[in-house]
C-alpha cells in the first residue's frame, strides 16, 4: 500500500484559505500529481486543505472523502496569559528538558501535558487513521500492522503539518513531540510512505520521501517558510 500525505499550500489562516502564492503552489502540485494512479483521496474539513486538493481532484475527476481526524491537530498547551499554544511550537529548552516527552510510551505523563487535551486529541486522530487503514486490510497490532490482505492501493490525504507529524509518530512508534519538533513539511509538500511486507502478515510503513517540494523548485516557485523557524532550503 502507498500512503501519501500532502500538506496544504501556503495558507491564509485568517480566512482559512490560501494566499496568492498558495494558489500557485496548488496548481503546480496538480500538474505533478495528474499522472499519479490514485485509488482514494481523503481530506481535512478545513478550507485551506480543501482548496489545495481542488486542483488535483479536478485533474483526476474524483472527489475526496472528508475525514474529521485529518483536521489540523487540536492539541494545545495553556499559556500564562490565559491563552493557548499549539503543541509543536515549544522552545527546545522547554520540551527537551522533560524526559517523558522523548519516550515512545508514557510521553503523555510529562508535567507540561497535565490538564491538557493533547493525549485525548492524539488518541482520536490515530483511532480514525487506523480505522481508515482497516478498509485496505491493515489492522494495528502492537508496533506494526497485521496485513490480512495485501493491498496495492494508493491513498492520498490532503491535510496539515501537525496532524501529519502526529500520524507519522504513530506509524513509527515514536513520541509525537519528536516528529512535531524534528520535521518540517513545507506548504504543498509531498510525503510518501509504502508498506514493507517482508514477513507474512506483517506490514510496516517506511517513508520514501518526506516533505518533497520538487514541483515548486522545478517551476522556480520558492518554498514557503510556514511551520519553519529558519529559512527553508531552496535547492
User: Distance between CA atoms of 50 and 108, rounded to whole angstroms?
Assistant: 31
Do 158 and 50 form a contact (C-beta atoms < 8 A)? yes
Q: Domain segments of the chain: what residues?
A: 2-218
Q: How far apart are the first and last CA of the chain?
A: 30
Percentage of the chain exceeding pLDDT 90: 91
pLDDT digits (tens, 9 = 90+) for 33-81: 999 999 999 999 999 999 999 999 999 999 999 999 999 999 999 887 8
Other CB atoms within 10 A of residue 85 CB: 11
Question: What's the CA dihedral at 222, 50, 73, 208 to 10 degrees?
Answer: -60
In whole angstroms, what separates CA 157 from the centre of its chain? 8
Instruction: Encode burial over 190-211: b for 16+ CB neighbours within 10 A, e otherwise.
Output: bbbbbbebeeeeebbbeeeebb
Question: Looking at domain 2-218, which of 3.40.50.620, 3.40.50.1240, 3.40.50.300, 3.40.50.10070 is its CATH number?
Answer: 3.40.50.1240
pLDDT digits (tens, 9 = 90+) for 110-160: 999 999 999 999 999 999 999 999 999 999 999 999 999 889 999 999 999
Amino acid at each position: 500500500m502507498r500512503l501519501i500525505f500532502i500538506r496544504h499550500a501556503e495558507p491564509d489562516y485568517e480566512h482559512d484559505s490560501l494566499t496568492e502564492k498558495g494558489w500557485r503552489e496548488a496548481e503546480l502540485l496538480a500538474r505533478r500529481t495528474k499522472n499519479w494512479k490514485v485509488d482514494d483521496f481523503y481530506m481535512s474539513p478545513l478550507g485551506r486543505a480543501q482548496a489545495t486538493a481542488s486542483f488535483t481532484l479536478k485533474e483526476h475527476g474524483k472527489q475526496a472523502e472528508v475525514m474529521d481526524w485529518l483536521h489540523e491537530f487540536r492539541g494545545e498547551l495553556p499559556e500564562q496569559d490565559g491563552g493557548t499554544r499549539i503543541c509543536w511550537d515549544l522552545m527546545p529548552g522547554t520540551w527537551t528538558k522533560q524526559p517523558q516527552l522523548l519516550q515512545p510510551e508514557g510521553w503523555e505523563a510529562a508535567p507540561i501535558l497535565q490538564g491538557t487535551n493533547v493525549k485525548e486529541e492524539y488518541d482520536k486522530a490515530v483511532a480514525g487513521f487506523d480505522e481508515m487503514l482497516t478498509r485496505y486490510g491493515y489492522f494495528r497490532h502492537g508496533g506494526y500492522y497485521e496485513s490480512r490482505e495485501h493491498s496495492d492501493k494508493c491513498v492520498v490525504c490532503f491535510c496539515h503539518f501537525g496532524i501529519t507529524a502526529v500520524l507519522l509518530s504513530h506509524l513509527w512508534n515514536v513520541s509525537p513531540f519528536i516528529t512535531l519538533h524534528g520535521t518540517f513539511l513545507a506548504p504543498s509538500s509531498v510525503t510518501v510512505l509504502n508498506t514493507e511486507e517482508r514477513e507474512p502478515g506483517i506490514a510496516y510503513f517506511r517513508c520514501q520521501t518526506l516533505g518533497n517540494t520538487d514541483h515548486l523548485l522545478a517551476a522556480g516557485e520558492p518554498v514557503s517558510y510556514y511551520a519553519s523557524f529558519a529559512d527553508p532550503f531552496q535547492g
